């Protein structure tokens, strides 16, 4: 009887050890897959605020692609997630309006892009805006010249967006 208890105890401790080993093994495999995936390929993002409505709403859950802009250039109209320039611990989601080297002019509620292809200006097609909403800036008309590595971004809900019109 005593021998049977020893065998049962030994089998029981082997089963627990085997179970723990499987848990550790599963965690290591998960970390090897998840950490690089999150660091280099895609990252979850939750929209905070109403600056991108009606296209993205508060608390929308997005998966942000981290590969595309390593192999292709950013284009006008792309929606990007980036570190807020005035507090890099925060992430913002906005739409690319102006590209490096361009001039962005906001006047009479419309956005005009001035670049080498359009030296007289090109009125920006903003069909993604609700009801073709107008774009205003604090203080009226505004013209911004972008540097070599600068982009001009704005939220789709222009009346409720903190964006390049305010902080450059």
Residues belonging to the active site = 51, 94
DSSP 3-state percent helix, strand, coil across the chain (nearest 5): 30, 30, 40
- Cβ partners under 8 Å of residue 80, min gap 6: 69, 74, 93, 94, 95, 96, 153
Alpha-carbon torsion angle 163, 103, 124, 130, nearest 10: 10
Beta carbons of 113 and 107 less than 8 angstroms apart: no
Whole-number Å distance between alpha carbons of 70 and 81: 14
């Amino acid at each position: 009887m005593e021998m049977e208890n020893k065998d049962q105890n030994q089998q029981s401790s082997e089963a627990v050890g085997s179970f723990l080993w499987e848990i550790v093994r599963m965690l290591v495999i998960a970390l090897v897959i998840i950490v690089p995936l999150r660091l280099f390929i895609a990252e979850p993002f939750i929209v905070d605020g109403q600056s991108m409505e009606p296209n993205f709403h508060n608390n929308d859950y997005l998966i942000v692609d981290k590969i595309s802009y390593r192999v292709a250039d950013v284009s006008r109209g792309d929606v990007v997630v980036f570190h807020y320039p005035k507090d890099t611990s925060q992430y913002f989601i906005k739409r690319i309006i102006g590209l490096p080297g361009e001039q962005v002019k906001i006047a009479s509620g419309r956005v005009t892009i001035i670049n080498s292809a359009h030296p007289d200006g090109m009125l920006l097609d903003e069909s993604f805006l609700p009801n073709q909403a107008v774009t205003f800036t604090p203080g009226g008309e505004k013209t911004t010249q972008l540097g070599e590595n600068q982009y001009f971004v704005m939220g789709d809900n222009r009346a409720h967006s903190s964006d390049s019109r305010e902080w450059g």
